[in-house]
Amino acid sequence: MSQPPSAPASGNRYRTVALAAAAGTTIEWYDFFIYALCTGLVFGKVFFAGLGEDSMIISFATIGISFFFRPVGAALAGHLGDRLGRRAMLIATLVLMGASTTLIGLVPTRDSIGMAAPVILVLLRILQGLSAGGEWGGAALISVEHAPTEQRGKFGAFPQLGAPLGLLLANGVLALITGLTSDEQFQSWGWRIPFLLSVVLVGAGFVIRRKVEESPVYEELKESGSQSRTPLASLFRHHWPLVVAGALLFAANNAVGYMTTGGYVQAYSVNHLKMDKTTILICVMVAAVGWLTSTMAGGRWSDRIGRLRVYRIGFVIQLAWMFPFFALLNTAKPGLVVLALVLYSVGLGLTYGPQSALFSEMFPTAVRYSGAALSYAIGAVLGGAFAPMIAEALQSSTGTVYSVGVYLTGVTVIGLVVTFFVKERKGVSLTDTSAEAPAITPTVQHSTPHFPTEESPA
């Protein structure tokens, strides 16, 4: 079984692939997060006005709707990615996301065209969901499958950087626009600028990703003629317990992360704590830098001590900081809010950085794109889909933001428990050719789900 070459020249290739994956995911998540951020700051008034006290909850619900189309996008991209290759899906998902985001910036308001406005908005958000569902799997796999065995965590962390970088970029652009416009101007036309900017970013991303070579692991699979004709069927026949495990692991990270990426913290700070829009956006930008740092650290650290140990440490940090986070946030003092957000990002990074390597090592090559993408997409539905809406509803009904902390604590505990039912696979070969590959992942026997532990054989 071949491994990616380790000649010095290959080091540049690894970095080129990793940077291209990071650039693409950054643009994709910028597009996705801009919608979420504007949902809390603008859309409740521009598209859902007239719905009374529920307008903000309904507005946040449109974030969640798109998540239900992520598994569809993951299934489509996974099937094509396992059949046709990773590279083609990287380009297709980027273009779809960019087109739908740019069009959102052109949607007339409800005052102009009535109920057609929110309907069009939701349809475009659904297209964003389809793209997001397929994007991550391709970026993660092409990074990890190019990487040296002993550095999969490091290079697999690069596509993970797209989320904090996208959050940083989205908040930065909005902070700049809110700082240069009045509230009336921002509500009227200023919010459209970041969406229209997407067309420029996607153009740059398209050029970058066209230069990326196909995964050598996939090329070997193709040459052997071992591609599965029905990767989804093979995935669910032999590896569905791992899809469930992967989904629950990501859900525990995603629900916590969507407090900032989904716009809840920004909306809560502005609407309830009366913080200035630009101020809270800058606070989140600083936190995004912390998230970026801990994400890369998590990926690199997982190459040394294992993916699952890093996950466990991250989940414990999430649990320990949950209620202090909300206590500091409630002070509405920028310095303390930054401290709260930065420390909040540490656990997030440690449970996000190793994900590309972990998910890639969980599934055999023939179904790897489908397995990784669906685990990610289903986890996003379970964790992030309605996390901002649930948080808003809990805070509104109980009168305290600490009820949100209880909800997030429960989700995190589930993720922590799952880490003890998944086998550590750091360093396994990625060049297997069987869709079943029992040496790589567990099969379902006697209809009973089985997750091998670290002590038991796969």
Find all residues with CB under 8 Å of 219, minimum gap 6, and list them.
none
CA 454 to chain centre: 27
Q: What pLDDT is recorded for position 227?
A: 62
The CA-atom distances, in angstroms, between 231 and each of 193, 370, 391, 431 are: 41, 7, 37, 16
The CA-atom distances, in angstroms, between 24 and each of 102, 143, 207, 285 are: 16, 12, 10, 19
Select the highest-mean-pLDDT range: 181-190, 338-347, 420-429, 431-440. Answer: 338-347
Average pLDDT, the chain: 85
From the list 390, 386, 388, the residue with the least C-alpha distance to 64 is: 386
> What number of other Cβ atoms are within 10 A of residue 92's Cβ?
18
The CA-atom distances, in angstroms, between 258 and each of 125, 223, 240, 436 are: 16, 41, 26, 34
- Rounded to whole angstroms, the Cα distance separating 375 from 361 reads 13
> What number of other Cβ atoms are within 10 A of residue 439's Cβ?
12
Decide which of 429 and 249 is more confident. Answer: 249
pLDDT digits (tens, 9 = 90+) for 86-141: 778 888 888 898 899 999 999 998 888 988 988 999 999 899 889 888 888 888 98
Residue 448, classed as helix, strand or coil, is: strand
> How many C-alpha atoms does 446 have within 13 Å on its Cβ side?
2
Q: Which CATH architecture has domain 8-421?
A: Up-down Bundle (1.20)
> What number of other Cβ atoms are within 10 A of residue 8's Cβ?
7
Question: Are 66 and 133 within 8 A, CB to CB?
Answer: no
Question: What average pLDDT score do residues 421-435 get?
Answer: 78
Find all residues with CB under 8 Å of 91, minimum gap 6, and list them.
206, 209, 210
> What number of other Cβ atoms are within 10 A of residue 219's Cβ?
14
Q: What is the pTM of this model?
A: 0.82
Is residue 451 predicted with pLDDT exceeding 80? no
Place of tokens 């995190």: 412
Is residue 423 predicted with pLDDT exceeding 50? yes
From the list 337, 346, 339, the residue with the least C-alpha distance to 279 is: 337
The angle subtended at Cα 211 by Cα 3 and Cα 18, nearest 5°, is 50
Report H helices in 330-400.
334-350, 355-362, 368-383, 387-398
pLDDT bucket at 291, cuts 50 / 70 / 90: very high
DSSP letters for 56-96: HHHHHHHHHHHHTTHHHHHHHHHHHHHHH-HHHHHHHHHHH
Sequence spans of domains, the chain: 8-421
What sign does the CA torsion over 442, 447, 453, 456 have? negative
DSSP bridge partners of 448: 445
Q: What pLDDT is recorded for position 374?
A: 92
pLDDT bucket at 354, cuts 50 / 70 / 90: very high
Residue 338, classed as helix, strand or coil, is: helix
Q: Give me the percent of the chain exceeding a pLDDT of 90.
A: 45
What sign does the CA torsion over 278, 280, 281, 285 have? positive
